[in-house]
Amino acid sequence: MRPFEYVSPTTKAQAVSLLASNWGQAEILAGGTDLLALMKDDVVAPKRLVNIKDIRDLTGVTYNAQGLRIGALTNLGDLADDANVRKNYPALSDALIEAASPQIRNMATLGGNLCQRPRCWFFRNGLGLLPKDETGKELVTDGDNRYHAILGNDGPAKFVSPSTIVPILIAYGAKIRVEGPKGKREVPLEKFYVIPKTETEREHDLQPNEIVTEVVLPASTGVKAAHYEVRQKQAFDWPLAVAAVALKMNGSNVQAARVVMGYVAPLPWPSPEAEQVLSGQSIDDDIAQKAADAAVKNAKPLSHNAYKVQLARVSVKRALLKAVSGGAA
Amino acid sequence: MKNVTITINGAEQQAQVEPRLLLVHYLREVAGLTGTHIGCETSLCGACTVLMDGRAVKSCTVLAVQADGHKIGTVEGLANGGQLHAIQEGFWEEHGLQCGFCTPGMLMCSHDLLAQHPSPTDSEIREAINGNLCRCTGYEHIVNAVKSAARKMTKRVSARAA
């Protein structure tokens, strides 16, 4: 690992002032579970690390009738075990437990999970987010793209969005709050992610001198939700497909549905097509299948990942059936 | 260089470290505690698991400066004088180790589990050690060892209470 300057501000304002206005100079250190891996592999080499763990008001979970507020430094383990999360957002708790091994859950923070970099092996080998050869040809298109995107892959970005908990957070209606030199702003979580068009852009909307401060979820009354992921092994692994659903119920019928897929596109991928199929319906095997078919209708697999279309389809179907059979809030 | 104050197995230590020094290297090379093993150095194998403020973490993916002001527990801190910890006894009696390389990490991870869940089910044990690889693949015995440790610890707690 290359040497760097290490600073530990104790307020948000100090932290913001220690960050740089361009990517690459300074990085935010929270749990470090992703950043340190990137630095060991020399994928990123910041000159300064800004440790934000000494900022006190960024940790903790509060719950009331309006919903849930999660401080960005809350670790994934504490969040998964939080009594209010387990009771009112059980699908989030499920997703958190599957997100990493216990040791990583004890270190990794929610904010860090939302800002982690893609798992794309071209990127992790230092070839960039939009890897090209010397003639400008895209490496992923002809290379080993078995884990890459099947949706939203028309542009140069072929990686998949790395967080496994973002889909369920979006399904529950999460908003993310960030703070920077211009003050505070709040963004719906699904608008926080962007597809980079050049190597100097990142895959989220966070500016280089902003920090994520909290995530808020609306109340989950009358919502049935579920998280489902397909992995190569039962114990922790990066998934091949993720589906998250949140169904606002009116009796036994769906009043409004959110269906969000993960690991299929450079963004967390909501499916209005599936949501439309579900609207007003009572969910059974047949409707779940129709919604799942709609969710992958526009998939355009690359040369080695057509299998992921079926995995994404099955994930959506199983998440829907799990939501209605589990009776989860 | 940064000054750090880290309490390791109950003893406070001060040192000057480079910010890029990993906690596992600090423990082995600065503190001289080589019981914590370096396996993959990519936070996959769990051999380097230690306790930070009582919770299991992978010390290859923690900087020593991140441990500043915190309490670290390593395998050397488990036994009390000549008396092995119940978790160590469990691994000994149930043949929870073969080559022993993964063992310190397995012990520390089990310590965190049993502090949270004194009587874990088999599936809770398997979930708790899913970030620890045993390449001898002795997982059955490891699960038995953790169960045995849980029984011993529960018995000792109730004996003390009586």
User: Domain holding B130: CATH number?
Assistant: 1.10.150.120
Give me the mean pLDDT over the B1-12 stretch.
Answer: 97
- Same-domain check for residues B7 and B70: yes
Could you tell me the CATH number of the domain that includes residue B39? 3.10.20.30
In a domain, B102, yes or no: yes
- Residue spans of alpha helices (H) in B6-138: 23-25, 86-93, 103-116, 122-128
Binned average pLDDT, 10 residues per bin, chain A of 329 residues: 97 97 95 98 97 95 97 98 97 97 98 98 97 94 97 96 98 98 97 95 96 98 97 90 97 96 98 98 97 98 98 98 77
Whole-number pLDDT of residue A328: 46
In CATH terms, is domain A56-115+161-218 a member of 3.30.460.10? no
Whole-number pLDDT of residue A38: 98
Q: Are B134 and B126 in contact (CB under 8 A)?
A: no
Final residue in a domain of this structure, among B29, B44, B76: B76
Q: Which residue of B has its CA nearest to A101?
A: B131
Whole-number pLDDT of residue A127: 96
- Same-domain check for residues B60 and B115: no
In a domain, B29, yes or no: yes
**In the block, which residue shows the tokens 């899913």?**
B130
State phi, psi for A157 to the nearest 5 degrees. Answer: -85, 120
CATH architecture of A223-324: 2-Layer Sandwich (3.30)
Tokens of A290: 């129709």
- Same-domain check for residues B52 and B113: no
Whole-number pLDDT of residue B159: 83
Q: Which residue of A has its CA nearest to B40?
A: A37
Whole-number pLDDT of residue A8: 97
Whole-number pLDDT of residue B104: 98
Which three-class secondary structure string do you get for A181-193? CCEEEEEEHHHHE
Q: Going by C-beta distance under 8 Å and a sequence separation of 6 or more, which residues neighbour residue A185?
A: A177, A178, A179
- Which residues of chain B are at the A interface, by a Cβ-Cβ cutoff of 8 Å? 2, 18-20, 22, 41-43, 46, 49, 52, 55-58, 61-63, 65-66, 109, 112-113, 126-128, 130-132
- Other Cβ atoms within 10 Å of B152 Cβ, number: 17
- In whole angstroms, give the CA distance from residue B130 to residue A232: 14
Chain B residues closer than 8 Å to A125 by CB: none
Q: Does A235 touch chain B (CB under 8 A)?
A: yes
Whole-model pTM over 0.95 = yes
In a domain, B81, yes or no: no
Final residue in a domain of this structure, among B20, B55, B76: B76
In a domain, B130, yes or no: yes
Whole-number pLDDT of residue B160: 80
The total of structural domains in chain B comes to 2
Nearest CB neighbour to A236, from listed B56, B62, B130: B130
Residue from A97, A103, A233 to probe the interface with B (highest B Cβ count within 10 Å) = A103
- In whole angstroms, give the CA distance from residue A146 to residue A325: 32
- CATH 3.30.390.50-classified regions of chain A: 223-324
Chain A residues closer than 8 Å to B22 by CB: 36
CB pair distance less than 8 Å for B56 and A29:
no
- Same-domain check for residues B72 and B97: no
- CATH 3.30.465.10-classified regions of chain A: 56-115+161-218
Distances (CA, A) of A219 to A69, A190, A209, A256: 10, 18, 31, 15
CB pair distance less than 8 Å for B52 and A236:
no
- Other Cβ atoms within 10 Å of A158 Cβ, number: 28
CB pair distance less than 8 Å for B19 and A36:
no
Q: Which residues constitute the domain of residue B41?
A: 2-76
Ranges assigned E (strand) in B18-79 = 49-52, 55-58, 71-73
Nearest CB neighbour to A6, from listed B46, B65, B109: B65
- Same-domain check for residues B38 and B70: yes
pLDDT of B157 > 90? The answer is no
In a domain, B162, yes or no: no
- Same-domain check for residues B67 and B7: yes
